[in-house]
Amino acid sequence: MLNSVGAYLKFFSSAILDFVFPPRCFGCDKEIDKGLICDKCLTQVTTGALGTCPVCGLPKSDNEECIHQLFLSGVRPHTLARIRALGKYAPPYFGLIHNFKYQQKKKIGKILGLALANLVNSDPVLSRARYIIPIPLHPARLRERGYNQSLILAQEASFCSGITLLDCLKRIKYTKSQTQLDYQHRMKNIRDAYKLKSEYTGLIKDSRVILIDDVITTGATLSEAAKTLKENGAGDIYGAVVTAAQV
């Protein structure tokens, strides 16, 4: 009886809150009946994808000119073969990423992870990968945020694509945020930031892998993580991210 009363009160309270503060889509901020994202934004996220530059492999729109930023790094030609992204760092991705990453809306990560799985499965190269690997956070940053958004994305992408999750990298260097840095300073800031966990030594040898992250700007973070994997014997390394931003 008490359980029934508790369930009723919870339902009633939720209904009152929805009436006073109707739920809004975290992608476009439009009012919705329920959930986290409206049907229009959900369709865009789960079916859209950027192409890739045929020269450097960075994600870009069909009519966009690429400046090949990853070629500025000496390690680039030997690490990342190509990077896929769902869309540009603009609505609905901007709102979804912000709330997922900074407002504790971890359920949004499941939606974005599913979208990444669709992207991977539709790509004839990435779909043949053996492992999905998340970009790690430094322990201090992890304590601050409470969770690694890239791991949540990777877990869902792995589950929905059938590609094995391998949480094999660790962040050994605490760095300031990359947000306000240009490409050269990003590369310097992130240099030697990653290390392969000892229990995975030899496991990734000659394996095709996909690095998962939320946002790519210059590619410095993915490139440095890929360098670590390559130094430990990984085969072809690719990237799959939610959004592509610009410096």
Confidence class for position 247, pLDDT limits 50, 70, 90: low
Cα–Cα dist 193/161, whole Å: 28
- For residue 127, being part of any structural domain is answered with yes
SS3 label, residue 4: helix
DSSP state of 117: H
* pLDDT the model gives residue 19: 44
* pLDDT the model gives residue 21: 53
Residue with token string 């409206």: 38
Contacts of 200 (CB under 8 A, 6+ apart): 166, 168
Q: Is 203 exposed, middle or buried (0-12, 13-18, 19+ CB in 10 A)?
A: middle
Domain span holding position 128: 48-244
- For residue 115, being part of any structural domain is answered with yes
* pLDDT the model gives residue 17: 44
Confidence class for position 79, pLDDT limits 50, 70, 90: confident
Find out whether 174 and 187 touch, Cβ atoms under 8 Å. Answer: no
* pLDDT the model gives residue 77: 46
- For residue 185, being part of any structural domain is answered with yes
Cα–Cα dist 216/88, whole Å: 10
- For residue 82, being part of any structural domain is answered with yes
- For residue 201, being part of any structural domain is answered with yes
* pLDDT the model gives residue 193: 92
Confidence class for position 186, pLDDT limits 50, 70, 90: confident
- pLDDT top residue among 54 and 84: 84
- How many CA atoms does the CB half-sphere of 247 hold within 13 Å? 14
Find out whether 141 and 217 touch, Cβ atoms under 8 Å. Answer: no
- pLDDT top residue among 100 and 173: 100
- For residue 4, being part of any structural domain is answered with no
- For residue 67, being part of any structural domain is answered with yes
- For residue 38, being part of any structural domain is answered with no
β-pairing verdict for 131-134 and 209-216? parallel
Residue with token string 């079916």: 47
Give the whole-number percent of the chain exceeding pLDDT 90: 66
Number of domains in the chain: 1
pLDDT at 72 over 50: yes
* pLDDT the model gives residue 9: 44
Q: What is the CATH number of the domain that holds 106?
A: 3.40.50.2020
β-pairing verdict for 51-52 and 59-60? antiparallel
pTM comes to: 0.87
* pLDDT the model gives residue 2: 46
